[in-house]
């Protein structure tokens, strides 16, 4: 998903896809995009029986970027 976004926004910004991706990755404290498996693991955890008392929460899977 981020590849197509980076290509379009990099072109619009006049910096190219590679430079855009590098800038985005530097903005993430972990220094990289999440993998699909990492996003899926968070979703699986929320849907599991491990957190039965979790309701109406916003879980941000962001590599350390604060949501606000």
Name the pTM for this structure: 0.71
Note the pLDDT tens digit of each residue in 16-66. Answer: 888 888 888 998 999 998 999 999 999 999 999 998 898 888 888 889 888
Report the pLDDT value the prediction gives residue 13, as an integer from 0 to 100. Answer: 86
What pLDDT score was predicted for residue 17?
A: 86
The stretch 5-18 carries a mean pLDDT of 86
CB 32 within 8 A of CB 63: yes
Per-residue model confidence (pLDDT) at position 45: 93
> What pLDDT sits at residue 68?
64
DSSP H helices in the chain: 2-13, 17-27, 36-47
Burial class (CB in 10 A: 0-12, 13-18, 19+), 20: buried
Q: What are phi and psi of 38, to 5 degrees?
A: -70, -40
Alpha carbons 27 and 33: distance in angstroms, whole number: 10
Crossing angle of helices 17-27/2-13, nearest 10°? Answer: 110
């Amino acid at each position: 998903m981020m590849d197509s976004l980076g290509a379009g926004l990099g072109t619009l910004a006049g910096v190219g896809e590679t430079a855009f991706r590098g800038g985005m990755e530097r903005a993430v404290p972990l220094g990289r995009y999440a993998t699909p498996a990492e996003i899926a693991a968070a979703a699986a955890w929320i849907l599991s029986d491990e957190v039965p008392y979790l309701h109406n929460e916003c879980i941000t899977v962001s590599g350390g970027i604060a949501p606000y």
